[in-house]
Amino acid sequence: MNHPKLINQILEYGTAGFRTKANLLDHVLYRVGILAVLRSKFKKATIGVMITASHNPVEDNGVKLVDPHGEMLAPDWEVIATDLANVSDDRLSSLIDSIVHKWEIDITSPSNVIFARDTRPSGSSLSASLLDGIKSLNSSFTDFEILTTPQLHYLVHSINTNGLYGTPTPEGYIKKLSAAFNQLHSNIKHETTPFEKPRIFVDGANGVGALQVKKMSKEIESYITIEVFNDATSGKLNHMCGADYVKIQQKAPEGVPIIPYERCASFDGDADRVIYYYFDSDKRFHMLDGDKIAALIAGCISDFCVQAGLSVDLGVVQTAYANGASTKYLTDTKMLKVACVCTGVKHLHSKAQEFEVGVYFEANGHGTVLYKASVKQKLNQVIQNGSSDDSCRVAAENLLNFIDLTNETVGDSISDMLLVETALKIKAIDVLMWDAMYVDLPNRQLKTQVCDRSIFVLTNAEQQVVKPESIQPKIDELVSKYKDGRSFVRPSGTEDVVRIYAEADTQMNADWLAYEVSLVVYELGGGCGKKPTP
């Protein structure tokens, strides 16, 4: 038996695929190889597989499938993935037969799987296991080796649109984004430009994003200077650095110089999230998270549309982790539609598809913008009808380039960073003015370990606990004690923890509320390991 299943632990296809200690994943990768081929035959399209554990520590690894348009695997196939990963070796072959039968898959039809991995040391052997699975069903394949997650999503979509979305190579990705960026920046002319050529410090989390952004920076160096730190040459992946560290710890990563008002961006381990930050003249840290990025980008797109004389249905999609102040700003000040969905890109992505322009961002920096074909048609119409000096036409051209700069398949640190840099330049604002759009409510995120996080059942976009029943009344009671209090808990789909989020009028109150709620989770949710302390 190839790649036997040597563990009894049940592994679930979670928020972003399978994710656990790398040494538990060999049989999972083999079976995901088989699953990807079946999915490819079923969809009659190329399917992607990304081997990554993103923001998790370097010892972890994971794997997720990418569907034909670069989107996350469809939920009904997530169930199949979980079944396949957990079935015993002796029942594997009959389970495959039953999937083929149930989904009426023509096993003789052609299939193609492309795959890549992040920089984790376990990646290459897991990649070999995946390949064995793919080969067991005689599928064609391409191993793209080390790429960012969003690059793989881009490649899947590009291949399945026969190059319409972009040239289906890693170089094609760099070329598409850099051409759009350079075009936009050569078009933007302000009478008084506050900064001619901006500079940004990038914290590459010691991961693959650092390698790829260096390639990108060479192509766009006429318009921006990108200096990369934590560039994977010596430091440990995600250790004291990266987007998740900055967001959760609310502090700067190690390894990046502290220069007041210098714009800094932190990527995560597979470069699908970005968080901005800067220091003021008192060396006080300020963070601009996914919510602030969404506010900036949505505002920029909305301005483009007004200037181009277009009315479009623009909406912003968030999760419960969005800071209350950001939701208020978007709805009350910007008068935009805002939707709240469960955590996980798949939920945000599908909700965003309901708008003509759907801006989605998780507070943790994961997000992008989706545009309906009708918007692109309207913009082309404006260009055709306008004269060359027509401001409507210029705005339409700019928005079309802004769309080309966007990786519409998934959140992308590099693309999102370049969108932010473009939006700042177009609006002629600096990081301080961007930060001043609204003031975040003080907040705190904690993690608590429980023996079995699957006992948690949630409702209302994961903001309320249905089971264990005793937890929600306690949370409500605690929240009512704090001015502007808000708190919720949910089991993570990528780590073996329950996450706790709290907001309140002061940082001390947010910290206390988070602590008190974490204690409730520990005591009523079957806590194990270290008991929370204040």
Residues in contact with ligand G16 by the rule CB under 6 A? 15-16, 54-55, 268, 272-273, 343-345, 362, 364, 366, 492-495, 499
Question: Is 364 known to sit in a ligand binding site?
Answer: yes
- Among 406, 411, 298, 314, smallest CA distance to 362 is for 411
CB of 214 to ligand G16, least distance (A): 21
Question: Helices H, strands E: what count in the chain?
Answer: 17, 19
Q: Distance (Å, rounded) from C-alpha 275 to C-alpha 289?
A: 5
Question: Is 319 known to sit in a ligand binding site?
Answer: no
Q: For 389-454, where are the alpha helices, taking DSSP H only?
A: 391-405, 413-427, 431-435
Residue 392 contacts by C-beta under 8 Å, 6 or more apart in sequence? 307, 308, 309, 382, 386
- 244 — phi, psi (to 5°)? -70, -40
Contact 119, 232 (CB under 8 A): yes
Question: Is 257 known to sit in a ligand binding site?
Answer: no
User: Has 98 been annotated as catalytic?
Assistant: no
Toward ligand G16, which CB reaches closer, 300 or 340? 340
CB of 410 to ligand G16, least distance (A): 8
Toward ligand G16, which CB reaches closer, 318 or 343? 343
Toward ligand G16, which CB reaches closer, 224 or 274? 274
Question: Is 272 known to sit in a ligand binding site?
Answer: yes
Question: Is 111 known to sit in a ligand binding site?
Answer: no
CB of 430 to ligand G16, least distance (A): 28
Q: Residue length, the chain?
A: 534
Contact 247, 396 (CB under 8 A): no
Bridge partners (DSSP) listed for residue 216: none
Q: For 200-287, where are the alpha helices, taking DSSP H only?
A: 208-219, 243-249
**Cα end-to-end distance, the chain, whole Å:** 50
Question: Is 422 known to sit in a ligand binding site?
Answer: no
Give me 118's structure tokens.
Answer: 């992040």
| Residue tagged active-site, from 40, 54, 127, 158 | 54
CB of 177 to ligand G16, least distance (A): 20
Toward ligand G16, which CB reaches closer, 57 or 255? 57
Q: Distance (Å, rounded) from C-alpha 211 to C-alpha 70?
A: 22
Toward ligand G16, which CB reaches closer, 9 or 311? 9
CB of 61 to ligand G16, least distance (A): 12
Catalytic residues: 54
User: Which residues are part of a known binding site?
Assistant: 54, 268, 270, 272, 362-364, 490-494, 499
Annotated binding residues for Mg(2+), written as ranges, equal 54, 268, 270, 272
